[in-house]
Amino acid sequence: MTLFAAARSPSELPHNDELQSLAQAGQLELHTAFSRASMDGAPSRRIDQAMLQRSNAAALADLIRPREQGGHGARVYICGRGGFATTVLETLAIVVGGNEPEGQRQTIRGLVGARRVMTDVFTSTRVAPDRTASRTIDASELVLHNDGEHGWGTAINGLVYDLSEFRELHPGGFRIIDDNAGIDSTEEYRTIRHHEDPEIEAMLELYRIGRLRRLDLDNAWGVALEDGVPHYVSLRDALQKWLQHLYLVVEIENALRNDFDFLDCKLTASERREDMTPLKIVLLAEAQSRFVADKVPTLFGAPLADLWTKAAGLFDPDADAILLAQRLAAIAGGEQARRSSDASDLLRSRARASEIPISQAQPLVVDLQTRNIAIVSSLEHQLRQGLIEFETHERDLLDRGAGVLASLTPIPDALNAFHERLATTIERHLAA
């Protein structure tokens, strides 16, 4: 067994005498790191310095390397406060994963996924240095972190966490992490009272990567319509509404993946996971109908139109404050929206009657997912562009806000095109 033990001084290391005796008897390979004292001629050092010492790093790499690659396939147990555990994990990634950040991340994810890294993290009344305080993360960056390519991040109480490694360890399953990725999940975190559990709070500290940047909006304000009546609107309030809708879009994007997860599941005892079945076709049609009937109106309804109304009042008093609301309403009642609604209803009816051949279902799945993801991603992109305007200009946005309105302008055309393409896609498959 190999043990790396750290404390401020030998007197503060629990069971130090026993550990030294075991080491002298050859029953334990002990490496100590005392940050405020030297021992046996060794200078003071921290745990990461001890692990990165050339001979120690080589031995650690050999211990952790999988057996099939000539190593020992050792398991790692980390016990300490959150900051200590984070330092150990980061150093371990360097030792085993090399100098490339992606290689380091993949190494740690592999160890975690193989259940070869275990942690016992606790809190302390001692205030540790905030190692990530200097890194600020914009909300426009956070919203990108909700997939395997960009990682799975979330914000809680203004702090940002990368939960990519923890995703596979979450006791409630990875879908809970997925549902809350790319958004501010403070409300959800507090609703289930995680903030009252010191063990969860300590574990969360392992994955903290920074804090959300607080924009300098000063007390800037303007006048905008609310329910047709002019009201004073602060730039901060406008930003809050913008963020709320952008986070909603990301949430629906997350939910969209879960809505179609059943396609990769074994739903009955007699089928294989990859089999397309009549039941899956019915569930597919039901999910598509819900998306068109519920999700699309939520995404492109009154809250989105309200963003335009506020932006027009704040940034361009000459703009038509209800223009976006009128255009969205015209599309919702227009021919293409009716076509996509009717096509979705027909798809559901045909699926329930088992009139869709299994051989045609897989191409239909691909096309529906492509259409759905495209419209949600398009809306997310436009709202993110508007958010970047807030982040770029901050308090000066009142004089430079044309880009905010410009980010909303393409949305109605994209929505109408979605309805047309979706209707055409379903009609084509049902006619085949």
- Structural domain boundaries in the chain: 2-122, 136-212, 221-431
- pLDDT at position 56 is 93
> Mean pLDDT for the chain?
89
- pLDDT at position 208 is 86
**Rounded (10°) angle between helices 235-259 and 302-315:** 150
Tell me phi and psi for residue 410, to 5 degrees.
-75, -10
Res 128 pLDDT > 50: no
Q: Indicate the pLDDT class of residue 414, thresholds 50, 70 and 90.
A: very high
Q: Indicate the pLDDT class of residue 125, thresholds 50, 70 and 90.
A: very low
Res 40 pLDDT > 70: no
Minimum mean pLDDT range among 21-35, 170-184, 282-296: 170-184
Minimum mean pLDDT range among 263-272, 290-299, 310-319: 263-272
- pLDDT at position 82 is 72
- pLDDT at position 53 is 92
Amino acid letter for position 426: I
Q: Indicate the pLDDT class of residue 199, thresholds 50, 70 and 90.
A: low
Per-residue pLDDT tens over the stretch 204-220? 777 888 999 999 998 88
Amino acid letter for position 247: Y
Mean pLDDT on 306-331: 94
Minimum mean pLDDT range among 59-68, 85-94, 220-229, 287-296: 220-229
CATH 3.40.50.300 is held by the domain 2-122: no
User: Cα(66)–Cα(69) distance, rounded to whole angstroms?
Assistant: 5
Ramachandran region, residue 73 (left: φ > 0; alpha: ψ -120 to 50; beta: rest):
left
Q: Calculate ∠ Cα 253-369-249, nearest 5°.
A: 15
Reference 373, options 426, 327, 418; nearest CA is 418
- pLDDT at position 395 is 93
Res 274 pLDDT > 70: yes
Res 230 pLDDT > 90: no
- pLDDT at position 398 is 92
- pLDDT at position 269 is 83
- pLDDT at position 126 is 45
Contact of 369 with 286, CB cutoff 8 Å = no
Q: What is the pTM of this model?
A: 0.77
Res 129 pLDDT > 50: no
Res 107 pLDDT > 80: no
Which two structure tokens, joined as six digits, stand for 7? 């404390």
- pLDDT at position 127 is 42
H, E, C per residue of the chain: CEEEEEECCHHHCCCHHHHHHHHHCCCCEEEEEECCCCECCECCCCHHHHHHCHHHHHHHHHHHCCHHHCCCCCCEEEEEEHHHHHHHHHHHHHHHHCCCHHHHHHHHHHHHHCCCEEEEEECCCCCCCCCCCCCEECHHHHCCCEECCCEEEEEECCEEEECCCHHHCCCCCHHHHHHCCCCECHHHHHHCCHHHCHHHHHHHHCCEEEEECCCCCCCCEEEEEECCEEEEEEHHHHHHHHHHHHHHHHHHHHHHHHHCHHHHCCCCCCCCCCCCCHHHHHHHHHHHHHHHHHHHHHHCCHHHHHHHHHHHHHHCCCCCCCHHHHHHHHHHCCHHHHHHHHHHHHHHHHHHCCCCCHHHHHHHHHHHHHHHHHHHHHHHHHHHHHHHHHHHHHHHHHHCCHHHHHHHCCHHHHHHHHHHHHHHHHHHHHHC
For domain 136-212, give the CATH number: 3.10.120.10
- pLDDT at position 124 is 53
Res 295 pLDDT > 90: yes
Q: Indicate the pLDDT class of residue 345, thresholds 50, 70 and 90.
A: very high
Q: Indicate the pLDDT class of residue 134, thresholds 50, 70 and 90.
A: low
- pLDDT at position 178 is 87
User: Cα(17)–Cα(28) distance, rounded to whole angstroms?
Assistant: 13
